[in-house]
Structure 1
Amino acid sequence: MTEPAEAADEGATAAATAPNPAVASPAPPAPGGTRTAVLRSVTSRATAVGVIVSVLLILAIVFGSRLLENFDSALLPYAVATVFLAFGVAYRYTVWVSAPGARRLFKQGWRSFFSMANFRKGPTALPRMVATYLGFQKFLGARSYARWAAHQLIFWGCILASLITFPLTWGWFTFTSGTGSGPGYEMRIWGFKIIGFDSLNVLGWLMFHGLDIAAVLVIPGASYFLWRRMKDRGAITGQRFGYDLVPLIALIVISVTGLLLTFSSIFLHGGGYEFLGILHMVSVVFTLIYIPFGKFFHIVQRPAAVGMQLFKYTGRQDQEIFSCRRCEEPIDTGPYVENLRGTMRDLRLDFDEWAEYCPRCKRVLRGSAYLSHVKKGFK
C-alpha cells in the first residue's frame, strides 16, 4: 500500500489516469447524447463485471470452505464486506481502464508482459521491477528515507494482515486441535492438513500472533504519516479529511483494537472483549468497503504501473530514445512518446505534437507564443 497523495509515480499514472478515475469520463469529449450513451455503456459493463467477480468470490468461499463446513459464522460480517470489496474494486477498475490513457497503457503493459522477445532481452526485468517497484518501492526513497521506512511498515503490515485475515474469513484456513484446547494444533488449507505445530513454541506463537505483528508494523508507519499531515505545510494545504486522513485513522484504529483484543484475552481474562470485538469488526468492515472508493484504491492500481515500467524498459533496451525536436535532449523512449501522442488523439486534444518537446522547450515555446500573439495585442 502506498502513502496518501505521495506514492503515485508521475510517469506511471500521469498519462494513464484521469484526475479522479471514480468520476472521470472514460471517453473522449463528445456531443451530449453520445457522451451519455458512452457513460451508460461503461457503467453497465462495470456493474456486470462487479457482479461476476462478486459471484465468483461467493462460490470460492462456499467451495473453499467445503460447502461452509469450515466457515466461521462469527466472521460473516467480514466475509460480506469482502464481497462488497470485490464488487467495488471490479467496478471501479473497469471504469478506470475504460479511460483512453489507462486503457492504452494497460494494453501495452500486458503486451510487454507476454512478449517472448522482451523476455529474451531482459529475462530478469519483470522480477526486479516487482521486487523494487512493488515490494520495496525504492522510488519513495528518493523523496525521503523516513517516508520510505514508514511506508514499508504499512505495506508489509497490511500484506501480512491480508494474507491471514482473508483466508480465515473465507473459511479457507482452519486451525484444529484433537484435544479441543491444544497445545497441539493442525493448520489446514481447504480442508487439507498443511502443518502441525505446538501453540507453546515459537512457531505456534507466530501462528497465533501474526495479526498482532502486523498491527505493530502498521501503527508507527500510519502514525508517522498522520503526524506529517498535521505538521507539514505542503501536506496540509492540499489534504482532504475524508480522502487523506480517514485511511490513516482507520489503519490505526484497526491495529489498536486488534492489539487490545489480545491484551484483553491475556491480561484481563476477556474483560471488555465483546465491546472491543464489535469496535474492531466495524472498523475493518468500514475500511474494506472504503477501499474501492477512496485513497486505498491505488493499492489496486499500482500493479498495473509495473506493466508501464516494463513497456518503457523494453523501449530503452531497443535504444528507441526520443529526443526533443527543439533542443535534442532525450525525453523518453520512442514507443512511450508515441503512446502518449495516441492518448492525446484519443482525447481529441489537438496539440499532440507537443509531446515531442521536453518540458523546458514547452515553456519557452509557450512564452514565445504569448509574446508574439497575446502581448502584441496590447501595443
Structure 2
Amino acid sequence: MSEPSEALAAEPPPSPSAPSSAPPRPSAPPLTGSLPPAGPSVTARATLAGTVVSLLLIAAIVLGSRLLRDFDSALLPYAVATVFLAFGVAYRYTVWVSAPGARRLFKKGFGSFFSAANFRKAPTAVPRMIATYLGFQKFLGARSRSRWAAHQLIFWGCLLAAAITFPLTWGWFTFTSSTGSGPGYEMRIWGFKILGVNALNVVGWLMFHGLDLAAVLVIPGASYFLWRRMKDRGAITGQRFAYDLLPLICLIVISVTGLLLTFSSIFLHGGGYEFLALLHMVSVVFTLIYIPFGKFFHIVQRPAAVGMQLFKYTARQDEQVFACKRCGEPVDTAPYVENLRATMRDLKLDFNAFVEYCPRCKRVLRGNAYLAHVKKGFK
C-alpha cells in the first residue's frame, strides 16, 4: 500500500487549459465531533425510550414507597425532577448511540464487558477496570495530580449524595421513631426494618449528616475546577459558560445551601430555613434537569468506555498489536484499529488510510504533502 503523501504526489496537477471532465468531488463532512442531526426515526425512538424509562421510574417510586405510604410529599419537586432526569438521560443516550461512532463504541464496549470469553481470559479485568477507570479514574492522574484529586472529591461526594438523596426522595428509605423525636430511629427499606440507629452516636451522626459530608467533599473539588477555568489560558480559550462553568456553579450552590440548612437548624434555631430550603430545592431541581443536556452527561457515557478499555486489553493479551505502516512502532490493538476504520467508513471519511500510521508518522506525511503540493508553489 502506498503512503498517503505518495499517492497525493503521484497525481499530476490539472492543466489550466484542459477542461475538467470529472465531476467535482463532494466536500468531506466537517470534523466537528458533534452528533449528526437526529432524523424523525431517531427522535421517535428517543422519545419512546425516555417515556418508557420515566414510566418505569414512576412505577418503581409508587411500588417502592408502598403505594406512596412512605412517600414524603415535601420532596415531590425532587421526585418530579428525577423523572425528568430519567426521561432526558434515556432520550439523549438513545440519540447518542444512534451516531455511527457511538453505536460502535456501545456495541463493542458492552459486548466486551459482558463477554464470557473475555471473562475466561481475564477474570479479574472487569472489577479492576471498574475500580481504576470508573472509581479512582487513574487516567486523570497522568494529566495532573491536582485535577485527579479534585475530580475524586467531586465524584465521591456526588456519589454519596446520590446514594442518600434518591432513595429518600422516592420513599424507599424511611427513618421512623417510636418516640417521635428520637434519638432512636428505625431505618427501613421498602418497609422492611434494616437496623436501629441512635442519632447521638458516631454511626448515627454520620448517617444523618451524610449529605453534609458530601457537600464538604464537593465544594473544594468544584472550587478548584472553577478557579482553574478562570486562570488557565488553555481552559479559558475553549470554555463555554453553560457547558463548563454552570455545572460547577450548580454543584457549589447545592453544597453551600445544604450546609447552610444544617447551620440554620443547629445554630440559628431554624432562622431563614424556609428561604434556604427553597433555594436549595431550586438549585437541585435545575441541576437534575440540566444533567442530560450538559457536561455531566459523560457520567452516563463512561461505562461504555470501560467496556472499550476491556476490548483493547483483551486484544493486547492475545498480542494483536497493529504496527505503523511506516516506522513499525505499535499504534494500538489490531481490532481497535479495524473498529476505527469501520467507523470512518460509516461516516464516509475517505482518509481512513491514515489510521494505519502512528501519530509521529502522520505529522511527517502531512508535512511531506505540504512540501509537495503547497510549498513548491512559492519557490
- TM-score, normalisation: structure 2: 0.90
Distance of 2:297 and 2:349 partners within structure 1: 28
Is 1:19 the counterpart of 2:33? The answer is yes
User: Counterpart in 1 of 2:45?
Assistant: 45
Structure 2 letter corresponding to 1:346:
D
Contact kept, 8 Å, 1:184 with 1:199, in 2: the verdict is yes
Determine whether 1:310 maps to 2:310: yes
**Structure 2 counterpart of 1:366:** 366
Query: Is it true that 1:250 corresponds to 2:261 in the alignment?
Result: no
Query: What is the SS of the residue equivalent to 2:325?
Result: coil
Matches within 5 A, 1:269-280: 269-280=269-280
Instruction: Report the AA paired with residue 260 of structure 1.
Output: L
Distance 2:311 2:321 in 1: 13
CA distance, structure 2, for counterparts of residue 375 and residue 274 of structure 1: 70
Inter-partner Cα distance in structure 2 for 1:175 and 1:68: 15
Match of 1:9 in 2: none
Aligned to 1:267: 267
Give, in angstroms, the shift of residue 354 of structure 1. 1.4
Matched AA of 1:322:
F
Report the equivalent of 1:349.
Answer: 349
Aligned to 2:216: 216
Q: Distance in 1 between matches of 2:292 and 2:342?
A: 29
Structure 1 counterpart of 2:66: 66
Query: SS of 1:178's equivalent?
Result: coil
- SS for the counterpart of 1:326 is coil
Q: Distance in 1 between matches of 2:302 and 2:371?
A: 42
- Asked which structure has the greater CA Rg, the reply is 2
Match runs of 1:184-195 below 5 Å: 184-195=184-195
Q: Return the alpha-carbon distance in structure 2 between the equivalents of residues 369 and 142 of structure 1.
A: 33
SS in 1 for 2:186: strand
Tell me how far 1:377 sits from its aligned partner: 4.7
3-state DSSP class of the match of 1:275? helix
Matches within 5 A, 1:1-379: 19-20=33-34, 24-25=35-36, 39-377=39-377
CA distance in 2, matches of 1:271, 1:154: 29
Equivalent pairs, count: 349
What is the rounded CA distance, in whole Å, between the counterparts of 1:234 and 1:378 in structure 2?
Answer: 34
Question: Counterpart amino acid of 2:280?
Answer: H
Code of the residue aligned with 1:180 in structure 2: it is: G
For residues 236 and 146 of structure 1, do their structure 2 counterparts lie closer, same or farther at Cα, with a shift above 3 Å needed? same
SS where residue 39 of structure 2 aligns?
helix
Contact 1:18 1:99 in 2 (8 A): no
CA distance in 1, matches of 2:69, 2:365: 69
CA distance in 1, matches of 2:63, 2:74: 18
Question: Where does the alignment leave 5 or more consecutive residues of structure 1 unmatched?
Answer: 1-16, 27-37
Distance 1:266 1:68 in 2: 30
Where 2:332 maps in the other structure, the secondary structure is strand
Structure 1 residue 253 displacement after superposition: 0.5
Between the aligned partners of 1:197 and 1:115, the Cα distance in structure 2 is 42
Give, in angstroms, the shift of residue 376 of structure 1: 4.2
Deviation at 1:236, TM superposition (A): 1.3
User: In structure 2, what is the Cα distance between the partners aligned to 1:182 and 1:119?
Assistant: 49
Tell me which amino acid in the other structure corresponds to 2:109: G
How far is the alpha carbon of 1:222 from its aligned partner? Answer: 0.7
Q: Which amino acid aligns with 1:25?
A: P
Give the RMSD, CA atoms, in angstroms.
1.4
Aligned residue for 1:245, secondary structure, equals: helix
Letter in 2 for 1:161: A
Amino acid at match of 2:183: P
| Alignment partners' CA distance in 2, 1:222 and 1:109 | 30
The structure-2 alpha-carbon separation of the partners of 1:153 and 1:58, relative to structure 1 and needing over 3 Å to count, comes to same
CA distance in 1, matches of 2:375, 2:219: 56
Aligned-partner residue type, residue 329 of structure 1 = E
Segment drifting more, 362-371 vs 177-186:
362-371
Letter in 2 for 1:118: N
Q: Matches of 1:249 and 1:103 in 2, distance apart?
A: 32
Return the offset for 1:114. 2.2
| 3-state SS of paired residue (1:74) | helix
